[in-house]
Amino acid sequence: MAGLTPQPRYSFAIVQGASLPSQSWWPELHAVINAAFLNKNHSVFPPTWTRLDPDPAKGAEGLSRELGDYGHMVIAFSASNSPVACTGWLPYRGENWLSKVDSRGISKVEAVPVSIDWEVCCFCVHPSARGKGLARQLLAEMVSDIKSRGGTRLFTNYAVDETGGFWTRLGFEVQPGAGGILAKGFKVDPDREGLRADIHFNMGMRTL
C-alpha cells in the first residue's frame, strides 16, 4: 500500500551457549549487547554487572559459562547479516539461585539436560533496532525451541525499577512471594564494586 514504510526483515539463528566463543559474528554481538545495556539507566548496578567484559573473548567466556552446558541463544540478524538482538535461556535455576553462585560468578545449581521449566538470560535489542517488534519475535523463537524440548513454563527474574512493565507486556505474570531484595553493597565477586542501592526483584512466569 502506498505510503507505508516497509518493515525490516530479520533472520534468526539458535546456537548453544557454549559455542559463542567460536562464532564468527560474536564480536559484533558482543558490541550489540554492551550497547544495549549502555543505553539504559542501570544506575544502581556496577558496570560489570550489566554489561559484558569489554574484551570480546572474556565476554563470550562469561556469557557461555552462565548459559552452561544446556543453555541456548537465539540471535536476530538484520538484512545485512549483522546481529542486532539476542536472548538466551537455560534450565530454571530456582528463585534463590543467586545465593548459590560462587565467588567466580558460577552457579552451583546442578545442571539438567531436560527440564519443563526454563529461564531467560541476557535479553536485549540494539538501540537502533528498537520499536520494531523484535522483542516479541525473539520471545516467539525462544518459546518455540523450549516447547520442542518439552518445556512448559518460562521464568524471568528482573529488577523492577530497571525494567518497568516490560515483562508483563510480554505475557509474564508476576509470581506472588517470589520477589526479593539485594541490599546495597551486595557483591557476587569480592573484587568487584558492590551494589550502589537496594535492588528490588520480581519473578515473572509464562505458561507455554
Q: What is the identity of the amino acid at 182?
A: L
Bridge partners, residue 195, by sequence: none
Mean pLDDT of 26-53: 79
Percent of the chain with pLDDT over 90: 54
Quick check: is 112 in a domain?
A: yes
> In the predicted model, is pLDDT for residue 44 greater than 80?
no
| Long-range pairs for 136-140: beta carbons < 8 A, 24 or more residues apart | 136/170, 137/10, 137/12, 137/76, 138/12, 138/74, 138/76, 138/85, 138/86, 138/87, 139/87, 139/170
Q: Quickly state the pLDDT bin for 56 (edges 50, 70, 90).
A: very high
Domain that holds residue 41: 11-155
Grid coordinates standing for 45?
548496578
Look at residue 173 and tell me if it is in a domain.
Answer: no
In this structure, what is the dihedral angle of CA atoms 64, 25, 37, 59, given to the nearest 10 degrees? 40
Q: How much is the pLDDT for 186?
A: 84
Residue 54 belongs to some domain of the structure:
yes
Considering its fold, how many domains does the chain have in total? 1
CB 139 within 8 A of CB 170: yes
CATH of the domain at 54: 3.40.630.30
Q: Per the domain annotation, does 204 fall within a domain?
A: no
107 beta partners:
101
What is the value of pTM for the model shown?
0.84
Average pLDDT over residues 4-26: 87
Q: Does 22 reside within a domain?
A: yes
Residue 186 is assigned to a structural domain of this protein: no
Most confident of 27-41, 142-156, 187-201: 142-156
What letters, b where the CB count within 10 A reaches 16 and e where it falls short, cover 161-175?
ebeeeebeebebeee
Q: Are strands 117-125 and 153-159 parallel, antiparallel or unpaired?
A: parallel
- For residue 66, tell me if it sits in a domain: yes
Q: CA-to-CA distance for 146 and 119, rounded, in angstroms?
A: 10
State the pLDDT confidence band at 48, using cuts at 50, 70 and 90.
low
Range 64-80 average pLDDT: 93
Query: How far is Cα 188 from Cα 99, in angstroms, rounded to an integer?
Result: 9
**Beta strand spans in the chain (E):** 11-16, 72-77, 83-91, 117-125, 153-159, 173-174, 180-182, 199-207
Asked, for residue 160, whether it belongs to a domain, the answer is no
